[in-house]
Amino acid sequence: MKLKWHPLAIEDLSRTVDYCRERFGTLVSIQVREKIRHSAKLLKTHPLLGPIEPKLQGCTRLEYRGLVADAHTKIIYTVHKEYVYIHLLWDVRKDDTYLPQAAVHRYHFSEEEQHWMVNEESQEEYEK
């Protein structure tokens, strides 16, 4: 199964890594990035690993799942016939009442993009 990242999820990853680098140093930022990427890669072979996100049921037509990637980050994703789509990285310390808003925003952003173009160019970097 392929793994696709929403363009804003890629930004989420970059912001998380940058924050960790500034606060805790390069080594910690690398470790956090690798934990998140490793968790994302698990979804390629085990797409149903994360449970359905109850807070996101009914907010769009998609069935969102969440996988805790590290102590503070959850991967919010959907499973499709040929790929897993990562919509966002959620800081679990945030108030989760805003999670549906974030998902709806990403959903509408994706609907405006050509489906076949979403993140195809930079995909390889995030699958490694």
What is the 3 state secondary structure string of the chain? CEEEECHHHHHHHHHHHHHHHHHHCHHHHHHHHHHHHHHHHHHHHCCCCCCECHHHCCCCCCCEEEEEEECCEEEEEEECCCEEEEEEEEECCCCHHHHHHHHHHHHHHHHHCCHHHCCCCCHHHHHC
Structural domain spans, the chain:
2-120
HSE-up of 88 (CA within 13 Å, CB side)?
18
Domain 2-120 has CATH 4.10.520.10: no
Q: What is the pLDDT of residue 116?
A: 41
Q: What is the pTM of this model?
A: 0.84
Report the pLDDT value the prediction gives residue 118, as an integer from 0 to 100: 42
pLDDT, tens digit only, all 128 positions of the chain: 999 999 999 999 999 999 999 999 999 999 999 999 999 999 999 999 999 999 999 998 899 999 999 999 999 999 999 999 999 999 999 998 999 999 998 887 765 554 443 443 334 444 44
